[in-house]
Structure 1
Amino acid sequence: MPGLLVLMGSGETSPTMVEVHRAAVRTLRAGARAVLLDTPYAFQENRADISARACRYFARSVGLDVEVTAGITGADWVFSGPGSPTYALDRWTDSGVAGDLRARVRARQGVTVLASAAACTAGLATVPVYEIYKVGAEPHWREGIGLLEPLGLQAVLIPHFDNAEGGTHDTRYCYLGERRLSRMERELPDGTAVLGLDEHTAVIIDLESETVQVAGRGGLTVRRPGSAVVLPSGTRTDLAGIRRLAEGGAGGSASPPVAPAAAPAEVTLEETIRSCEERFKAAAARPDMVAAAQTVLDLEAELVKWAADTEEDAGGVDQARELMRLLIARLGELASTAGLRSQGLRSLVESLLALRAQLRQEGQYDVADALRTAMLAGGVAVEDTPDGPRWTLAS
């Protein structure tokens, strides 16, 4: 079975990485054993929920049945993602999993997919992001598990390279920012490069042919003191070219970006939230009640698609739910001020009832109740009957 090493900057269980996962899974033999290493987030109280969401994602979106485990012996496909890089490092080192991962890469066998926190451990050193960004520790490195060394790369890997959640402060480079990363680079062994992997972006390394492809929303940055080369999504090259860039030379055989064979990359949930806000404002200004209701329906559909995302970047599921609640309340206000007996009332109410039915089917009863309350405030009373919901104009 051909060997693949897939590294992801983020979005590992979101719609943006579905095609990358599917392409990797197509290389597996029939009946392949697939395991999810839950170690990076095993300390979290909601570890079971995170694992369940990830397993649903791989089953429904990728077509792969996955078992959750702490070891990888006998696995054809291995995945690990969000959490704490240092927590994973300590336990993988003690349990022997770190050595097993290195052995897979050296043998050029199996599909190994590491994302976010797990990807952060792949190089010769690891960013202790929790300790630096959230606890306030002095910038420092931890030893990595060394998956890149068998590929001839003396490098560290930093996911979330283009993160912009900070707004007023620099959170690029996995929340380090330029000041801290520059300081930390001086502490690396001579000749060590930084491989920066943007969010919702993957680098796919065929371990047998040594071809390399960048896929997704962003790019792969090969950074050395005083210089940086960005390989955007669609770039196809080889390990020899990456090595030359990491050593300070030209990329050689790297090809210019080409349109990926797979479907275009999905928009992020953050982009969807911004788009829905603007569409709703435009519909409310006209006013177009049906278009406003459709915007809420579209946002709800995106929430379903992103429900399995185990590591939410900016504009995550919680923010989308908050926006949906706000828009639902605003719909009630618009219905009241626009006049309930307008020509578009029936279409509006039917759209809202369809949304409410979908919410109830998914078990989101609190949001469904909020929608019913908002409709009543706008003058539409909804009664649930054995034959389905019935609506009337409130007196």
Structure 2
Amino acid sequence: MEFGFGFDKADDADRTDTAFREEAREWLEKHLDERFTAAVGRGGPGSEHEVGAERRAWEQELGKGGWIGLGWPTDPAAGYGNRVATLTQQVVWAEEYARVRAPGRYGHIGENLLAPTLLAYGTEEQQRRFLPGIARGEDLWCQGYSEPGAGSDLASLRTSATRDKDGRWRVSGQKVWTSLAHEADWCFVLARTDPQARRHKGISFLLVPMDQPDHIDVRPIRQLTGTSEFNEVFFDGAVAEEVVGGEGEGWKVAMGLLAFERGVSTLAQQIGFGEELRAVVRTATANGAIRDPLVRAQLVRLWAELRTMRWNALRTLGGAPDAGAPSVAKLLWGGWHQRLGELALRVRGAQACVGPTDWTPDRPYELDEQQRLFLFSRADTIYGGSDEIQRTIIAERVLGLPREAT
């Protein structure tokens, strides 16, 4: 499976992109050295708990090299420190990063979710305050959206924020499934600031520092995989330092952020999927399962679908806004990844259900990569917006079907 662009001719832009690719490869080969050996190929979905210290140091290494925030403005006065990069060069970087199996990004949420949101909806002062720390790989962020009873139906959120006597916002409530909250320095939180408003109105997008031990309690959630990437976060009068987009405009900001979530990074995700598919092919070849016509047909279909997802992602990058594109992308990769996890175990037969023998009471089992793939991918059609919600978005915003009564 090849992941190059496959251009038919080399014009000036192509030559520039080729030079950029060579620069990226050289930098990665030089800097992904023995300091980060333990983190190579680790820290992705299902293993975000691994090698935290090395990955945090790697984030700062990327910042020093100017590889964070490639799509941001490059005004030197802003002090972001990022490189100039076209959209295709951002794709090139994502491909090269995935090719060398560089560590899973600790700063993904800050770089790819919060930063574009600040650039679209934040004030210049907010941009100058928060973007440099993300660009240096120093400030890590988490996302405070989902709540018990308000996951897919996010408009039902109950976390609230009120003004104290000094005019500061004080946040109280509970968030759940908060990735890397136990490591994050900051959290962007959706909270209801107008208790009289209904549903999507009266919600604000708040920036909350996590270092408030008397007001914020982070509790890890143990999953089927035995790991704890996700957390519950309890806010009890936590101070919010900024409101993005204006008071009561949080829903608009939040929906804008979700559109940014399906950007260039999805191409790197697909390259990771390709590596997982190749691993399944190797297993099927080694144990003879490849001789089964049904297995071969499923592998070919998964390969073809992955190629389709890639071209669909490239088609939507940089074009006119498409209200349904993010939802289509999420529907495609969520179901695809689940089917890959199922096939990964099917080709191994009964052996797929066997774990290691060196278990202990405090560590009852340890999964291999394909077992973890199967278990973790069960959530792919739920987190980041469930399939039901994605289909509703397509129905209402693309097909123009009547909206659900509220």
TM range (shorter): under 0.3
Higher-Rg member (1/2): 1
- Quick check: which one's strand share is greater? 1
- Please identify which structure carries the higher helix content: 2
With normalisation by structure 2, the TM-score equals: 0.27
